[in-house]
Structures are given as structure tokens and as C-alpha cells.
Amino acid sequence: MRSKNRVTLVGILAAVALAANTIGCGGGSASAPPPIFVNISPSAQTVDENRSASLTAIAVNDPAQKGVTWSLAASGCAAAACGALSNQTVTSVTYTAPNPVTAGLSVSVVATSVADNTKSEAASLTVVPPPSISTTSPPAGVGGSAYTAMPQESGGVPPFSWSVASGSLPTGFTLGTDGTIEGAPCTAGTSNFAVRLADSGNPPLTASANLSITVTVLPLSIGTTSLPSGVADTICIQAVQVAGGISPYTWTVASGSLPSWATLNSSTGRITAIPGTSGTTNFTLQVADSECSALTSTQALSLTVVSDTTASEQQAIPS
């Protein structure tokens, strides 16, 4: 038993001695420093021609904080046609876009670590021509029908902001800040106005265009010129027809009066009656539409009521 304990003690002492030797003599390996990598901001943006954009970068895990160097990379252009870098520091740079640009140009601004030039990061920039509005003739509007149109633009830095620069939209129309023209046309005529577009460049670039919208409203008229005869004590419904204008319509008796046993629906123009006596009643109906300045139309009509006996005799007469 004593021999076994002696062996165990010797093993423990040997392990302690080995550990002490490792710590004291530096025999172990030190952990490697974390790798350097580059962060660039913003990583992507759109720039108007002849406008500038600022970028910043940091070399992460760079103990000496040496920062970065800057370079410009692009395809499809050369030298000044790609733009230029200025105000370069170890953490920031200014990119100035070329002028003019006829179509979208893609360039990359590259930040490379000074401490480790194998580490770099690129920001993508899209250079665009100034904004322009290609729409000159929006579609015509029809009275009473919902209207929506969107002027077409190209170039510039989105998002865009639209406004009316001069003149006025047709009555009942609005122009949204996104360029949407919408509304419910309620007056016939042509409206001339100018719209202005501003992009989100720094500073913003603008464009304007003269537009014209024509709204057509068909003339308002009452299509019914006569009403069929009614039979005493028999319910009848007469529908008066209307054409043109803008619905909904409002019906009234403009002159004369309906018999006491007849009523006019002011919304539909229907005449409902249960004739009590034979005879003829003359009156004039008026209809008004829902234009901003309401149109009206009138029609002289008459209600003729025959007795049940007369109606039977008329039906018995051979044709």
C-alpha cells in the first residue's frame, strides 16, 4: 500500500513541475491577433452628375490605427469620365461625379487597409443624369369616372418629390408627392399646369414640365319624352331615363305638379302611382347632375289615366 501511494505522489509532483516549467519558461504558443477587415459606409448610394458624395471607412482590428488608402475603380469609363476623389484622409474621402452623364454609370470607391493591404472593401456608387419628365400629355378624363395618371420621369436620385409649379389641376384632382395625379373629374374643360420634380441629391436637382388634362362630360339630357297611360286603381311605375352628365342625379318637379296619387323618387327619377281617377296631368321634370357646377335638364311630360272599362275596350279592339 505504501509503494502505491509513493507512485501516485511522484506522478502529481511531476505534473506540477511540468506546468511550472511551461508557465515560467514561455514554452507555450501565444494566440494569433484577430484579422484586420475594413468597413466602409455607406456601402451603396446614387449620385447626381457633377455632385459629391462623402464616404468613411475604418480598419477594424488595426492596433496601430493606420487607417485606409482610397482608390477608384470603374468599367466603361476612364480618367475624369469616372469621377474623382478628393479630401482624402485615413478615414474619409469625397467622391465627385463626372459631368455630363448620359446614362447610369457604376463606379466603386475602394478603401484598403494601410496595415494589411490585402484587406479592402468597396462601396458601389451609381452616377445618374439629372432628372427629367418625359410625360407631356396625360390621358383625358371622363366626368364621373375615377382618374389616375403618373407622369414618367427618368434620371435623378430617388425618392422624388412632386409639386404643382404653376397653373391649376382640373377641379377635383390632386397631385401626390409621389407624382400621382388622381381624382374624380366633375367639370368639363381643359386645364393647363406645370409640375415640378425634385430629386434627393445633395443639393437636389429639379425638372419641370408643362402638362394639360382635358375632362369630357357628356351633355345632360332626359331621354324619356312621353309616359305610357296608366289604368285607374292599378299600380304603375314609370322610369324616366337620363343620359350624360355625372351621376348621381337629383330629380324634381320644375313646374306643374304630380297628381296626389303619384310620387317622384328624387334619386332615381321613378314615378310610382296608383291612379284613382281618369284624366291627364301635365308637369315638367328637372334633373340635376353632380358636376362641381351642376348641369340641369328639363322635360315636359304628362300622365294620362284611363278607367278600367276604357282600357278593356281598347284591348278588345282588333289591331
Whether the predicted pLDDT of 6 surpasses 80: no
State the pTM of this model: 0.70
* Number of domains observed in the structure of the chain: 3
Whether the predicted pLDDT of 264 surpasses 80: yes
Q: Write down the pLDDT at residue 308.
A: 66
Q: Write down the pLDDT at residue 309.
A: 55
Q: Which residue has the higher pLDDT, 150 or 231?
A: 150
Q: Are residues 302 and 259 in the same domain?
A: yes
- Pick the last residue of a domain from 78, 94, 128: 128
Distance of alpha carbon 111 from alpha carbon 109, whole angstroms: 7
- Pick the last residue of a domain from 216, 245, 264: 216
5: phi then psi, degrees, rounded to nearest 5: -65, -35
Residue 13 belongs to a domain = no
Residue 319 belongs to a domain = no
- Pick the last residue of a domain from 128, 159, 184: 128
The CATH number of the domain where 289 resides is what?
2.60.40.60
User: Average pLDDT for residues 19-35, to the nearest whole number?
Assistant: 61
Residue 132 class from Cβ within 10 Å (0-12 exposed, 13-18 middle, 19+ buried)?
middle
Residue 1 belongs to a domain = no
Q: Write down the pLDDT at residue 313.
A: 46
Domain of 90, in residue numbers: 37-128
Q: Are residues 137 and 100 in the same domain?
A: no
Residue 15 belongs to a domain = no
Q: Write down the pLDDT at residue 41.
A: 98
Residue 76 belongs to a domain = yes
Q: Write down the pLDDT at residue 233.
A: 81
Q: Write down the pLDDT at residue 124.
A: 97
Closest CA to 136 of 193, 204, 182, 205: 193
**What percentage of the chain reaches a pLDDT higher than 90?**
69
Q: Are residues 136 and 205 in the same domain?
A: yes
When the pLDDT of each residue in the chain is averaged and rounded to a whole number, the result is 88
Whether the predicted pLDDT of 24 surpasses 50: no
Cell numbers placing 313: 275596350
Residue 114 belongs to a domain = yes
Whether the predicted pLDDT of 307 surpasses 60: yes
Residue 59 contacts residue 36 (beta carbons within 8 Å)? yes
Name the band, by pLDDT with cuts 50, 70 and 90, for residue 235: confident
Q: List, as own/partner pairs, every contact residues 285-288 make where C-beta atoms lie below 8 angstroms and the sequence separation is at least 24, other chains included.
A: 285/222, 285/240, 285/251, 285/252, 285/253, 285/254, 286/251, 286/252, 286/253, 286/254, 287/220, 287/222, 287/240, 287/242, 287/245, 287/249, 287/250, 287/251, 288/249, 288/250, 288/252
Residue 103 belongs to a domain = yes
User: Average pLDDT for residues 108-115, to the nearest whole number?
Assistant: 98
Q: Which residue has the higher pLDDT, 127 or 314?
A: 127
Whether the predicted pLDDT of 160 surpasses 50: yes
**What percentage of the chain reaches a pLDDT higher than 70?**
87
